[in-house]
Structure 1
């Protein structure tokens, strides 16, 4: 949510960007901001501090705070960002810092525009997230031609999604199974699986069954994919690989895994097991599709 000082700062930014205030013109003083907006002096000071950080204003002795010499006016203003620019900027932040670093304020700052102007492109943060996820699908197309067999096609769809989530670790958190977003580019994945499950030799399936088979594939990938962002951010935070972290943690785990109480856990902690998100994905996908084959009576 935009704070009061951010809203006021955005109004002044807009006046500078539009050319209403030009380099050298005085900007509203803290006293004027207090009087016009009914805010505290500390809030007014934060407004001017924000504008100074943006390089839009400067303090001149004997004059006060004025529009900085390098502030862009209408004649030299950069290209006005469009919706695609907003989505790309948001994805760049999410890719680098995770969803926790994503805010409308941050996107506007990166684009050099007032925060409120973002709402000309997206009505809400949820709409922005949906557009971001749809862009992930758009830039992660399914292989062409798709395999014919239902199992090969399910694997192709799942691996395409898995690779996309690895490139954009936040995407799995945005994807909803219970309240699916309208994602035009994501429909290709749904269509590919529904059609594949509609062509099982000797086993015609109704659309309800095919949809459950399709969404279960999505859910497997999404569920495992939700661990990618936290793992990525943890590696950035402490500088340790997952293997290094496990090496440090294993002695403590072995200490509490009393063989008399937890013999199977103790055996697991004393064995070199290559357990990663990738291995869980491959194992989980294979076992899910094995179950499908038993259900369908078809191992293709």
Structure 2
């Protein structure tokens, strides 16, 4: 019995049965041990969830390609984080405030702050930029949980839905039904990610112009 074995069993439960099944009793059953055995490693379910999330978040700290600038590093980490959450969607439902920040989570915050401060943002703007990026990644995953927009059947249903609308009421949906039906969650994510990075570049340029006093535009 090790902490890693407990976290592995917890992740399997989360992936297969969802957050409601994530109990010390169910984990003990999966491991063939008693709940008392688990409590030698974790105090309660809340600590277990914190450790599980912290381990899941550590994947986003993988080193980006050599020579990458701040934007490429931010994009690299965002894509990596999203891919991991899509493989383990139950983790997304457990993420919340600072009460669940563990060592890996704090290391990720440190990395993000350093990335944006070094790029030219004030600590306040750097924190806001890092948080908005994480919120975007998490939101994009939660919005598409249980939905595969690249599935041909999903595209067919969307195409039929848009085509069947009243063109006088929904002219654009009807006119561009084929195009709209082919837009995937990957397309949506990449557009949003590029838009955020473009906005951050503007913040950095403005911050450099005003010597760290914040953006000049409203």
TM-score bracket for this pair, using the shorter chain length: 0.7 to 0.9
8 Å Cα contact 2:18-2:90 kept in structure 1: yes
Q: How does 1:14-163 map to 2 (within 5 A)?
A: 81-139=1-59, 141-143=61-63, 147=67, 149-163=69-83
Once the two structures are superposed, residues 55-107 of structure 1 have per-residue CA deviations (whole angstroms, 9 ceiling, x without a partner) of xxxxxxxxxxxxxxxxxxxxxxxxxx232221110011222333344333221
8 Å Cα contact 2:159-2:180 kept in structure 1: no
- The structure with more helix, counted as a fraction of residues: 2
8 Å Cα contact 1:146-1:153 kept in structure 2: no
Q: 1:250 and 1:273 mapped to 2: Cα distance? A: 5
Verify: 1:247 aligned to 2:163, yes or no: no
State the Cα distance separating 1:149 from its structure 2 match. Answer: 2.4
Verify: 1:283 aligned to 2:191, yes or no: yes
Once the two structures are superposed, residues 147-171 of structure 1 have per-residue CA deviations (whole angstroms, 9 ceiling, x without a partner) of 5522122112212212221232222
Q: 1:289 and 1:245 mapped to 2: Cα distance? A: 30
State the Cα distance separating 1:265 from its structure 2 match. Answer: 2.3
Pairing partner for 1:166 from 80, 86, 101: 86
TM-score if structure 2 supplies the norm length? Answer: 0.80
Unaligned runs of 5+ in 1: 1-80, 236-240
Q: 2:67 and 2:16 mapped to 1: Cα distance? A: 34
Pairing partner for 1:223 from 128, 135, 139: 139
Verify: 1:199 aligned to 2:118, yes or no: yes
8 Å Cα contact 2:159-2:181 kept in structure 1: no
Give the length in aligned residue pairs: 206
3-state SS of paired residue (1:198):
helix
8 Å Cα contact 1:148-1:196 kept in structure 2: no
The structure whose RCO (Cα within 8 Å, separation 6+) is larger is 2
Once the two structures are superposed, residues 255-288 of structure 1 have per-residue CA deviations (whole angstroms, 9 ceiling, x without a partner) of 3x22111222223324354322222211110011
Q: 2:14 and 2:51 mapped to 1: Cα distance? A: 13
Once the two structures are superposed, residues 137-194 of structure 1 have per-residue CA deviations (whole angstroms, 9 ceiling, x without a partner) of 3355421566552212211221221222123222222222x44522211333322221
Q: 1:186 and 1:213 mapped to 2: Cα distance? A: 16
The structure 1 segments of at least 4 consecutive aligned residues displaced by more than 4 Å after TM superposition are: 144-148
Change beyond 3 A, Cα 1:91–1:228: farther
Verify: 1:269 aligned to 2:177, yes or no: yes
Q: What RMSD, in angstroms, separates the aligned Cα atoms of the two structures?
A: 2.7
